[in-house]
Structure 1
Amino acid sequence: MFAGQRIVVTGAASGIGAAAAAAFSASGAEVIGVDRNEPESFNGEFIRADLSSPQGVSAAAGQVRGTIHGLANIAGVPGTAPFELVLGVNVLGLRDLSEALLPQIADGGFITNLASSVAAGWAERKPQLASFVSTADWAEALAAVQGDPEVTQNSYRFSKEAVRLLTELQASRNLGRIRVNSVSPGPVETPILADFKRDHGVDKVEGAVALLGRAGSVQDIAAVVTFLASAPAGWINGTDIRVDGGLAAHRGSQQLLAVSS
Structure 2
Amino acid sequence: MAGDLDGLGYRDKNVVVTGGASGMGEAVARILGELGAQVHIVDIQQPKVDHAGYYRCDLSDFDQVRATAATLKAIAPIHFLFPCAGLPPHIKGALYCMRVNYIGTRLLVESLLPSLADGAGIALISSDAAMGWQKNIAQSLEMLSISDPDEALAWVEADPERRLRDGYTTSKEMLVVWVAKAAVALGNERRIRFNAIGPCPTKTAFMDQSADVISQEFLDAWPYPSLGRIATAEDQAWPLVLLNSPLNGAVTGAFLYTDQGFATGVMTGAIDASFMMGSQRQQA
Q: Is the shorter-chain TM-score for this pair beyond 0.5, marking a shared fold?
A: yes
- 1:161 lines up with 2:173 in the alignment: yes
In structure 2, the CA distance between the partners of 1:222 and 1:257, relative to structure 1 (3 Å rule), is closer
Equivalences for residues 216-235 of structure 1 within 5 A: 216-235=231-250
In structure 2, the CA distance between the partners of 1:206 and 1:141, relative to structure 1 (3 Å rule), is farther
Tell me the SS of whatever aligns to 1:52.
Answer: coil
In structure 2, the CA distance between the partners of 1:152 and 1:238, relative to structure 1 (3 Å rule), is closer
For residues 60-119 of structure 1, the C-alpha deviation after alignment (integer angstroms, 9 at most, x for no partner) is 112212211011010001121312211111111111111111111112111111110010
- 1:243 lines up with 2:233 in the alignment: no
Are 1:19 and 1:219, in contact at CA under 8 Å, matched by a contact in 2?
yes
**In structure 1, how many angstroms separate the alpha carbons of the residues matched to 2:47 and 2:109?**
23
Aligned equivalent of 1:67: 77
- 1:130 lines up with 2:141 in the alignment: yes
**In structure 2, how many angstroms separate the alpha carbons of the residues matched to 1:103 and 1:218?**
30
Are 1:5 and 1:30, in contact at CA under 8 Å, matched by a contact in 2?
yes
Using the TM superposition, name which of 194-203 and 112-121 deviates more: 194-203
Q: Which residue of the other structure, out of 7, 13, 19, is the alignment partner of 1:5?
A: 13
Moved over 6 A (4+): 255-258
CA deviation after TM superposition for structure 1 residue 150, in Å: 4.4
| TM-score, length-scaled by structure 2 | 0.83
CA deviation after TM superposition for structure 1 residue 169, in Å: 2.0
Are 1:187 and 1:209, in contact at CA under 8 Å, matched by a contact in 2?
no
**In structure 1, how many angstroms separate the alpha carbons of the residues matched to 2:143 and 2:48?**
36
**In structure 1, how many angstroms separate the alpha carbons of the residues matched to 2:86 and 2:68?**
15
- 1:97 lines up with 2:108 in the alignment: yes
- 1:213 lines up with 2:223 in the alignment: no
For residues 20-76 of structure 1, the C-alpha deviation after alignment (integer angstroms, 9 at most, x for no partner) is 011111111101110001124533211111111211211211221221101101000
Equivalences for residues 160-179 of structure 1 within 5 A: 160-176=172-188, 177-179=191-193
**In structure 1, how many angstroms separate the alpha carbons of the residues matched to 2:148 and 2:179?**
20
Q: Which residue of the other structure, out of 44, 49, 68, is the alignment partner of 1:36?
A: 44
Aligned pair count reads 258
**In structure 2, how many angstroms separate the alpha carbons of the residues matched to 1:205 and 1:142?**
32
CA deviation after TM superposition for structure 1 residue 241, in Å: 0.8
Are 2:62 and 2:149, in contact at CA under 8 Å, matched by a contact in 1?
yes
**In structure 2, how many angstroms separate the alpha carbons of the residues matched to 1:257 and 1:188?**
20
Aligned equivalent of 1:106: 117
| TM-score, length-scaled by structure 1 | 0.90
**How much identity, in percent, do the aligned residues show?**
31
- 1:189 lines up with 2:203 in the alignment: yes
Q: Which residue of the other structure, out of 65, 68, 80, is the alignment partner of 1:57?
A: 65
Are 2:41 and 2:47, in contact at CA under 8 Å, matched by a contact in 1?
no
Runs of at least 5 residues in structure 1 that lack an aligned partner in the other structure: none
For residues 174-197 of structure 1, the C-alpha deviation after alignment (integer angstroms, 9 at most, x for no partner) is 114110000110000000103445
